[in-house]
Amino acid sequence: MKFPLTMAAIALAALMPPADAAALQESGDPLASARWAEMARTFLAGAPVLFDPRVKVIAPSTAENPLQVPVTVDATALPKVQEVVVFADFNPIVQVLRFFPEGSDAYLGFRVKLQQSTPVRAAVRTADGVWHVGGTWVTTVGGGCTAPSAAAASREWQQRLNEVSGRQWPEGPNAGRVRLRIVHPMDTGLVAGTPAFFLEEIAVADAAGQRLMRVQTFEPVAENPVFTLHRGATAGPVEASGRDNNGNTFRARIAP
Amino acid sequence: MKRWIGPALSLFAGLANAAGFDYALRAQPVAPDVYAFIGRSEDFTPANGGNIVNTGFIVAPGGVIVIDSGPSRRYGEQMRAAIAAVTPQPPVLVINTHHHPDHFLGNQAFADLPAGALAATRQGIAAEGNSYAENLFRLTGDWMKGTDVLAPTRTLVGGTSEIAGRRLRLLALAGHSGADLALYDEASGVLFAGDLVFNGRAPTTPHADLAHWLAALDRLEAITREPGFMQLVPGHGAVAGDASALRQTRAWLVWLQQSLHDAAAAGLDMNEVLARPLPPEFADLPVAASEYRRSVGHLFPAAEQAVLQ
């Protein structure tokens, strides 16, 4: 099915490779999800929307472990990315995270918990106010949001809560990459007797205090979250800081 | 008219077998008094009913020692019937090599005899058995009908002991799971390696500790060098008269361990690790691509943690 494009989209398409331009569409969800209309109302209300192949959402088509489904969002082909919101249409808690790539590339790798097979999408807002949407279907046996965290079975994490480990790759094929892991149960609150307990806010800044990225995280982010980001051309140590919904904070330095 | 009755009857018999969920188990002689049932080199499917596992038995002077009981009650029942077709000796003991469901869910068919396993295997089955059984219901469907978890009741420990009049060397190992029991039957020279050894199929790793597993393979390989050694029955895949299957398992695990470490050290994200191609030496190994994907999920988080400071 082909959908007519507005003038703005036609102008945009003229600047893109023909294959990408042909895939642009302003209506008609390419993932054919029954919940798309609701998703669009919830997250993108009132703003122009474009399904855009330049928003790459990478995830396994079949996820073996619904508690740790790897997702990579790469919107580096888009100019002036302001904000990226990631959501999964059929998850009981739909919103996964939002990130603001202030001084870094519009790129983030992380892992999510999925309750059932669902589209996983990223909506990317550029400076002109347009939401560019990409996504992929992930098939999974499910149960990821209502299964207890590993932390629920062991008290060991309490001593290590919000402990950060991280590393930078200043050289080589992944130059500019930063990876960090934070010890946190990321309990969804959907398991009887275990209240929601999750990281809400993570910021990564350079040595001068200039923020590289801000991430708002929600319950579906997997336990002991691991993030992969690209800081760009800058060098030196970075500082990761943040807090969870109970007000526990962390601050850690990741050496170059 | 009459000549059509024969073919018509055999057609009905075929349908009855399909509806009757026949695993077509045939005991394969491995050595005098030692037999194995060899499963397919596949993933669990509704077509194979979970018959992707090897089980076996030893006809000992005091009765039959059953080694693993398969993925379902039906499998256990059909296994027991297939054993009875080979020997009039009654089964006297079931041994579960480890706590994975394809190795113990046939225990119901042997509910009248004791079932033994390592202590951690008993705990694992008690704790996780029901969720494993649910998963096999999901993967194989009605083959599982009537299957319930019957956990082993007797704790086995490592060492040589006389079981039903036969000297068995029990090796309490680990690495494929938290507790892996291998058995060496000294009279026949047959080594039942359990899932520490896969032959012609990529190993599964949901509870693997690769360092422990590699150490266990060294212990098993030492047995294959003993003068009396004749045959190795792996947990999955064909029986081998030498250490080739063991070395194949080791080669996969060593590659997997190194590859995941290298990927983590290079800063790769899990999706990038999943996208890596298999090396040519494993390209034709059955279920290698699917087991690699699963193993990344099971093992990469620890590899990644090891390189993050």
In A, minimum Cα distance to B138 occurs at A141
Query: What pLDDT is stored for residue A11 in this prediction?
Result: 64
- The neighbour count for residue B106, using CB atoms within 10 Å, is 30
**Lowest-pLDDT range of A11-15, B30-34, B67-71:** A11-15
In B, minimum Cα distance to A165 occurs at B309
Report CB contact under 8 Å: A179, B304.
Answer: yes
Query: What pLDDT is stored for residue B8 in this prediction?
Result: 41
Nearest chain B CA: its distance from A122 CA (Å): 16
Nearest chain A CA: its distance from B309 CA (Å): 5
* Stronger pLDDT, B137 or B20, i.e. the higher one: B137
Query: What pLDDT is stored for residue A28 in this prediction?
Result: 82
Mean pLDDT of A184-209: 94
pLDDT band at A6, cuts 50/70/90? low
Mean pLDDT of B73-89: 98
Hey, is A180 helix, strand or coil?
strand
In B, minimum Cα distance to A168 occurs at B267
Hey, is B198 helix, strand or coil?
strand
Mean pLDDT of B132-145: 92
The token pair that represents B55 in the structure block: 């089980």
The per-residue pLDDT of chain B, averaged, comes to 93
Token pair 């030196």 is at which residue?
Answer: A236
Angle at A30 between CA A25 and CA A32, to 5 degrees: 135
Nearest chain A CA: its distance from B136 CA (Å): 12
Candidates A108, A138, A184, A228, partner chain B, best to mutate (most B CBs within 10 A) = A228
Report CB contact under 8 Å: B297, A173.
Answer: no
pLDDT band at A10, cuts 50/70/90? low
Q: What pTM was computed for the model?
A: 0.88
pLDDT band at B203, cuts 50/70/90? very high
Query: What pLDDT is stored for residue B288 in this prediction?
Result: 96
Show the domains of chain B with their CATH numbers.
7-244 (3.60.15.10)
Query: What pLDDT is stored for residue A147 in this prediction?
Result: 79
Mean pLDDT of B71-81: 98
State pLDDT tens for residues B224-250.
Answer: 999 999 999 999 999 999 999 999 999
Q: Judge whether A59 and A70 are in contact, CB under 8 Å.
A: yes
Token pair 């690769």 is at which residue?
Answer: B210
Query: How far is residue B98's CA from residue B178's CA, in Å, rounded to a whole number?
Result: 8
State pLDDT tens for residues A79-133.
Answer: 999 999 999 999 999 999 999 999 999 999 999 999 999 999 999 999 999 999 9
Query: What pLDDT is stored for residue A235 in this prediction?
Result: 82
Query: How far is residue A238's CA from residue A211's CA, in Å, rounded to a whole number?
Result: 9
| Residues written for chain B | 309
Written as one string, the DSSP assignment of B7-43 is HHHHHHHHHHHHHTT-----PEEEETTEEEE---SS-
Tell me which H or E stretch contains A37: helix A36-44
Q: Any idea where the domains of chain A sit in the sequence? A: 53-254
Query: What pLDDT is stored for residue A233 in this prediction?
Result: 73
Query: How far is residue B197's CA from residue B174's CA, in Å, rounded to a whole number?
Result: 12
Query: What pLDDT is stored for residue B215 in this prediction?
Result: 98
Q: Which chain B residues touch A172 with a CB distance below 8 Å?
A: 266-267
Which ipTM was obtained for this model? Answer: 0.89
In A, minimum Cα distance to B295 occurs at A64
Can you identify the CATH homologous superfamily of domain A53-254? SoxY domain (2.60.40.2470)
Report CB contact under 8 Å: A68, B293.
Answer: no
Query: What pLDDT is stored for residue A26 in this prediction?
Result: 73
Q: Which chain B residues touch A173 with a CB distance below 8 Å?
A: 266
User: Which residue from A60, A64, A167 is facing B309, i.e. has the nearest CB?
Assistant: A167
- Asked if pLDDT for residue A8 goes beyond 70, the answer is no
- Asked if pLDDT for residue B7 goes beyond 50, the answer is no
